[in-house]
C-alpha cells in the first residue's frame, strides 16, 4: 500500500484508497483481508464505507454472487475497476 495511513487519526476517503483496494483485489480477497490491507479495523462502518461503496459502484464484485452472505465470500476487481486502474497509470 502506497499511503501510510497510520500517520493520521482520520480515516481515508474512499477515493484515497480506491486504487490500493482495486489493485489488491485483482485476486479474490475476503473483506477482512481488504480492511486489514488498508489498515482499518473490521467494523461494519468500515465495510460499508469502503467495500460496499466500491461494490455498489461496480468496481468490485462477489466471487459467490448466488450467496452474498456466504462466509467464504470474497471480492474481486471488475472489468470496470480494471479500466479505472489502467486510466490512472
- In terms of Cα–Cα distance, which of 53, 57, 63 is closest to 26? 63
Q: Where are the domains of the chain?
A: 14-87
CA dihedral 43, 44, 50, 54 (to 10 degrees): 140
Angle value at C-alpha 15, between 33 and 21, nearest 5 degrees: 25
DSSP-assigned letter for residue 50: I
pLDDT tens figures, 47-86: 999 999 999 999 999 999 999 999 999 999 999 999 999 9
pLDDT tens figures, 13-59: 999 999 999 999 999 999 999 999 999 999 999 999 999 999 999 99
CATH architecture of the domain covering 14-87: Orthogonal Bundle (1.10)
Q: What is the pTM of this model?
A: 0.86
Amino acid at each position: 500500500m502506497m499511503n501510510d495511513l497510520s500517520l493520521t487519526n482520520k480515516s481515508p476517503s474512499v477515493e484515497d484508497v480506491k486504487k490500493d483496494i482495486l489493485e489488491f483485489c485483482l485476486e479474490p480477497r475476503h473483506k477482512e483481508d481488504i480492511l486489514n490491507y488498508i489498515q482499518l479495523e473490521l467494523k461494519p462502518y468500515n465495510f460499508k464505507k469502503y467495500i460496499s461503496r466500491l461494490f455498489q459502484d461496480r468496481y468490485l464484485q462477489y466471487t459467490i454472487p448466488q450467496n452474498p452472505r456466504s462466509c467464504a465470500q470474497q471480492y474481486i476487481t471488475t472489468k470496470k475497476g480494471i479500466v479505472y486502474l489502467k486510466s490512472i497509470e
